[in-house]
């Protein structure tokens, strides 16, 4: 089994990813660390506590930061995930589960140091908590097993940003944090829109999940109603893309994905702010700072049918 800390901004597809990680026997989810993004930090954390209580998750819930590293706070993505972060659902106010007392970045540092070489960080929200952990304890780059990120848009196959023409939401919310995480010399795998927009949870797929997968299937169906309205009205799809669950799928079965290797940077200002760039060929001839940067892995394709089967079987 792989031990993961899931850093997330729940969030509708975040909930789909959390329940996937919980369901699959090859993942041990030690903690869910929360971050602002789809919802405010308070709502994101409450949503995580709610999932812990409802589905008896063993994972610690740890509250993370409420704002990007060095720019003003960004508001929740109400149009995609609703005011609560869970679409039409509003979790009850009588949640008894409690958060770990530490801030998320400190929890990450402590856990990684206690289990060197054992922990995979899976980040499916803005990368602020991970960057804060790196800044406070740079030595963790040598202690983390792998970092798996859902984020970015590399412009492959015509897939560009979803917030702006160039930027994907998680990177858009904190491009500086993303640049720090991608430039660090630890192994990073980035599953961006180029890949996540290749697979779809259709209405029929979600209906089947509701019919066959008990309380978890029913919850995924309920929480996804708002999301499907957004997709139908704004994206023109009868279903939704498989964003955050794809990062979990990578942890379970990396062979589902084809990856491309090379250093990655993030544009931190201007019209392409939040855009992710990978140097993947040798045709750029200038001997600049790219040559000395760590090579990371970027997803370029996914066996979508197999991913959908894996998700369904796990749930
Ligand atoms: C990403 O942004 C959020 O809306 C989703 O939860 C996902 O992590 C997709 O761009
Ligand atoms: Ca997310």
Mean pLDDT score across all residues of the chain: 96
Index of the ligand 1 atom closest to the CA of residue 12? 6
Can you give the pLDDT at residue 156? 83
Query: Quick one: which ligand is closest to 168's CA?
Result: 1
Supply the residue whose CA is at minimum distance from atom 10 of ligand 1: 169
Six-digit token pair at 273? Answer: 């702010």
Index of the ligand 1 atom closest to the CA of residue 150? 8
Residue bearing tokens 């290749």: 198
How far does the centroid of ligand 2 lie from the alpha carbon of residue 206, in Å? 19
How far does the centroid of ligand 2 lie from the alpha carbon of residue 11, in Å? 6
Query: Quick one: which ligand is closest to 12's CA?
Result: 1
In angstroms, rounded to a whole number, what is the distance separating the alpha carbons of residues 33 and 219? 21
Can you give the pLDDT at residue 158? 76
The 10s digit of each residue's pLDDT in 134-178 is 999 999 999 999 999 999 999 887 778 999 999 999 999 999 999
Residue bearing tokens 């760039």: 277
In angstroms, rounded to a whole number, what is the distance separating the alpha carbons of residues 254 and 75? 33
Residue bearing tokens 């369901």: 23
Index of the ligand 1 atom closest to the CA of residue 168? 10
Six-digit token pair at 283? Answer: 């045709």
The 10s digit of each residue's pLDDT in 81-139 is 999 999 999 999 899 999 999 999 999 999 999 999 999 999 999 999 999 999 999 99
Can you give the pLDDT at residue 190? 98
- Mutate-to-test residue for ligand 1 from 10, 32, 161, 169, highest number of ligand atoms within 8 A of CB: 169
In angstroms, rounded to a whole number, what is the distance separating the alpha carbons of residues 117 and 10? 27
Give the binding-site residues of ligand 1, using a 6 Å CB cut-off: 11, 13-14, 38, 77, 80, 124-125, 150, 162, 168-170, 243-244
How far does the centroid of ligand 2 lie from the alpha carbon of residue 150, in Å? 8
Asked if this assembly's ipTM is beyond 0.95, the reply is yes
Six-digit token pair at 228? Answer: 């499907």
How far does the centroid of ligand 1 lie from the alpha carbon of residue 89, in Å? 18
Supply the residue whose CA is at minimum distance from atom 2 of ligand 1: 169
Total-model pTM: 0.97
Q: Tell me which residues are annotated as active site.
A: 243
In angstroms, rounded to a whole number, what is the distance separating the alpha carbons of residues 158 and 197? 10
Can you give the pLDDT at residue 284? 75
Query: Quick one: which ligand is closest to 167's CA?
Result: 1
How far does the centroid of ligand 2 lie from the alpha carbon of residue 293, in Å? 27
Nearest to 272 by CA among 161, 180, 157, 197: 161
Index of the ligand 1 atom closest to the CA of residue 9? 6
- Looking from the CA of 209 toward its CB, the CA atoms found within 13 Å total 26
């Amino acid at each position: 089994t792989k031990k993961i800390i899931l850093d997330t901004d729940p969030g509708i597809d975040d909930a789909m990813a959390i329940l996937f990680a919980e369901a699959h026997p090859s993942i041990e989810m030690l903690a869910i660390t929360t971050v602002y993004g789809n919802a405010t930090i308070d709502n994101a954390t409450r949503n995580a506590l709610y999932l812990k209580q409802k589905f008896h998750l063993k994972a610690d819930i740890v509250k993370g930061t409420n704002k990007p590293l060095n720019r003003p706070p960004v508001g929740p993505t109400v149009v995609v995930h609703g005011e609560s972060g869970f679409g039409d659902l509003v979790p009850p106010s009588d949640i008894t589960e409690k958060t770990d007392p530490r801030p998320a970045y400190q929890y990450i540092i402590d856990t990684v140091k206690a289990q060197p070489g054992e922990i995979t960080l899976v980040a499916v929200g803005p990368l602020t908590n991970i960057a804060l952990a790196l800044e406070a304890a740079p030595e963790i780059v040598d202690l983390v097993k792998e970092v798996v990120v859902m984020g970015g848009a590399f412009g492959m196959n015509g897939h560009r940003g979803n917030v702006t023409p160039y930027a994907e939401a998680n990177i858009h919310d904190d491009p500086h944090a993303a640049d720090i995480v991608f430039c660090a010399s630890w192994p990073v795998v980035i599953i961006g829109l180029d890949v996540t927009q290749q697979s779809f949870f259709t209405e029929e797929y979600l209906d089947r999940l509701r019919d066959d997968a008990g309380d978890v299937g029913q919850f995924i169906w309920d929480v996804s109603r708002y999301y499907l309205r957004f997709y139908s009205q704004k994206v023109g799809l009868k279903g939704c893309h498989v964003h955050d669950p794809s990062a979990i799928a990578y942890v379970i079965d990396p062979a589902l994905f084809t990856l491309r290797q090379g250093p990655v940077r993030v544009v931190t200002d201007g019209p392409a702010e939040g855009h992710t760039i990978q140097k993947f060929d040798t045709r750029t001839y200038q001997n600049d700072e790219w040559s000395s940067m760590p090579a990371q892995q970027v997803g370029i394709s996914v066996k979508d049918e197999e991913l959908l089967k894996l998700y369904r079987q796990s749930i």
